[in-house]
Structure 1
């Protein structure tokens, strides 16, 4: 089935999707456009507008001519809400917000289905495309995919998340949570000279929290996990006080916590609770934790049949080996994997995701589509 991906169609489809603004939380227009595309390429399409009416879930299904496994391509249609120059094409490159992350990859999945449908290719089982709109944190944390997998009961035998890995393949990645710690005291902010002696200063308390987090991060750095390295605590923001000579009543610390496969958000929360309780007791301040999961950790056995099929397909298309790697970035494969669905990551390589200049090449769109077609030929 390889050699049939249409470069012009991939280019035009990607550009058309990129031209529709779709910041996280507001993806209805692009979802309906993508649903129309999936219907055009021969899929039976559902658009689930509840319980997320502003970010519908799109599900397209192409049934084979005999029983077999359910194979899923997964992507997201939302983009980070960061301004970008208007979409345009320059030579082989398609520029615009979402070209790489990840409307180009969504176009690849649709093009793979078009090739199979239009050529009458025989295959077993079902090919399913799932596209969501609550991917990009902090605006989305995969709430729609969580609902689909755990409330609606969506299931499959295997899945490809169409991003994160291109010319290598992630066999493990960290889990991540956003962390917001608030250190506070009762009462209003007051002039420094009118505040009773001995009143605990939330900024000083926050400094103690920072010291404790730094010490714990140094402890974590001593343990290196296969593929992903050490777990980390990170602090990216501190906000406290509102005027130079007013005694503050709160201070806020914001950052991330990343953990290795095998660890859990529950264990991470318990560790934070113990650390912060100690500082609260020592300082007399109230310390609260808001720990929100972005995605869990992910890993796949290096000998898993799905991974081997991907590596073989990549070699068939490119002539090169697809080497396993570990990464710290999180993505939706962790959610499929946690639901018991064997999952790999693969998509076209692009530049500038979340950056000021984002683009993807037509050549990469074609390559990824050809890899998908080869995988389907091996697995279905």
Structure 2
């Protein structure tokens, strides 16, 4: 595997702005980076397609067909042995320490927006496909690459993938420091709105303060979070959690606030229905209303994503561990991801999925980077797992 090619591919990916426009109004979107990836894959002789998920924002998909033969786009629509999944969108490029789209390479680290999250992982998957294709290794089952849009916002890209394609297993190449990640928490966003009664600040007998009513909710939520610590922890992920993320209330200094809204985030464990977050907050509000006749509140469940866990004995986990040993001559380490990932959507679709990607640091910060050596080692491991799992 050629270091110059790896460097050129990785810096080329980072140099193309692909800020998610749903996250950052006016963001460039993923079209240009999808075209760049498509050109690279077509250069390998693979069938490639851009699946437009939202206008001007496509997924890029390609496959090595069974037998490692040349294939038409029709090959993409078959059932696949393995999916390699990575997202092409990034967060904002504002405020970075280095020029976000002119990635410097210093002491083996490649800097730039998306280097770690997660164009390093995308490059890793592309290099693995190139290695298998050029080695002309015949495969019994096809391997599908999916470079997906919108992971940083609503994961529309992977939602589209699981509607169009099926596979026996998947690897999401999010950064893991070359450890095998087997689980991550889910989340639920819940809004609580307390209602008061507006009045002039000089007339307390006429007003009901919606913000102080919210204070009761916040105190109860703090106790709820503490109660989680008394439950039996998940062996990999520990306890669930809940926190207040955003609070809005009040209009002006001399007016009793008639409305206050707090957005809560509940982090969930495998086996928990994310809707439990709304149920817990609803119960808190019912209890407070029973204690205080002037308490009024409404609970609204927003975006939810389920937690994910894959069994360590699952075939793709075993194959990836075996490939890691073959490449590095070391036993793999296992871990969990702190953030929610698209692996949950693949898992919900019945596709056993493991998370494995390069090393680096600074996601969403001013000094984001990925290590070139981990991208190259990870690519070798992925190439080996393709051969073992699909060969």
Q: Same fold (TM over 0.5)?
A: yes
Which of 202-211 and 291-300 deviates more? 291-300
Secondary structure at 1:239's aligned position in 2? Answer: strand
Task: Indicate the residue corresponding to 1:332 in structure 2.
Answer: 342
For the 8 Å contact 1:174–1:328, the answer to whether it is kept is: yes
3-state secondary structure, aligned to 1:191: coil
Q: Distance in 1 between matches of 2:19 and 2:317?
A: 32
1 CA distance for matches of 2:32 and 2:52? 12
**1:38 equivalent in structure 2:** 41
**Cα RMSD (Å):** 2.1
Deviation at 1:114, TM superposition (A): 1.1
Report the alpha carbon displacement of residue 315 of structure 1 after superposing the two structures with TM. Answer: 1.7
The answer for the alignment partner of 2:75 in structure 1 is none
Aligned to 1:291: 301
Alpha carbons of 1:292 and 1:23: their partners in 2 closer, same or farther (altered >3 Å)? farther
Is the 1:182–1:289 Cα contact (8 Å) retained in structure 2?
Answer: yes
- Cross-structure match for 2:11: 15
Unpaired stretches in structure 1, ≥5 consecutive residues: none
Q: Indicate whether 1:210 and 2:207 are aligned.
A: no
How far 1:195 moved relative to its partner?
5.6
Contact 1:95/1:357 (<8 A) preserved: yes
CA deviation after TM superposition for structure 1 residue 292, in Å? 3.2
1:163 aligns with 2:159: no
Contact 1:28/1:53 (8 A) holds in 2: no
Summarize the alignment of residues 223-238 of structure 1 with structure 2, pairs less than 5 Å apart: 223=231, 224-238=233-247
> Secondary structure, in 3 states, of the residue corresponding to 2:242?
strand
* 2:270 equivalent in structure 1: 261
Structure 2 residue runs of 5 or longer lacking an equivalent are 22-28, 69-77
- The structural deviation recorded for 1:153 is 3.8
Q: Secondary structure at the match of 1:11?
A: helix
The 1-side partners of 2:318 and 2:255 are apart by 62
Spell out the pairing of 1:342-353 with structure 2 (5 A cutoff).
342-353=352-363
Q: How far apart in 1 are the matches of 2:79 and 2:200?
A: 72
1:209-241 residue CA offsets vs partner (Å, 9 max, x unmatched)? 101111111111112111111111112333322
Task: Give, in angstroms, the shift of residue 362 of structure 1.
Answer: 1.3
1:156-204 deviation line (CA, Å, top 9, x unaligned): 1110000142332222221112333222336xx543114643x321111
Give the direction of change, closer, same or farther, for the CA distance of 1:326–1:148 in structure 2 (3 Å limit): closer
Distance in 1 of aligned mates of 2:289 and 2:42: 57
Q: CA deviation at 1:369?
A: 0.1
Asked if 1 retains the 8 angstrom alpha-carbon contact of 2:48 and 2:62, the reply is: yes
Match status 1:101 vs 2:117:
yes
C-alpha distance in structure 2 between counterparts of 1:350 and 1:294, whole Å: 29
Post-superposition Cα deviations, 1:237-295, rounded to whole Å, max 9, x if no partner, equal 33322433321122222332111111111333322322233335545344333433353
Aligned mates of 1:279, 1:60 — CA distance in 2? 55
- The aligned counterpart of 1:146 is 159
Quick check: 1:75–1:102 contact (8 Å CA) kept in 2? yes
Structure 1 residues 164 and 89: CA distance shift in structure 2, 3 A: closer
Per the normalisation by structure 1, the TM-score is 0.90
Relative to structure 1, the CA distance from residue 282 to residue 153 in structure 2 (aligned partners, 3 Å threshold; closer, same or farther) is farther
CA contact (8 A) 2:79 2:167 kept: no
CA distance, structure 2, for counterparts of residue 171 and residue 77 of structure 1: 22
Q: 1:123-167 CA deviation, whole Å, 9 max, x = no partner?
A: 12111111111111xxx1212322332xx3421111000014233
Q: 1:248 to 1:229 in 2, by over 3 A?
A: same
Match of 1:367 in 2: 377
CA distance in 1, matches of 2:331, 2:107: 28
**Structure 1 residues 32 and 276, CA gap change in structure 2 (3 angstroms):** farther
Deviation at 1:312, TM superposition (A): 1.5
Query: SS of the counterpart of 2:85?
Result: strand
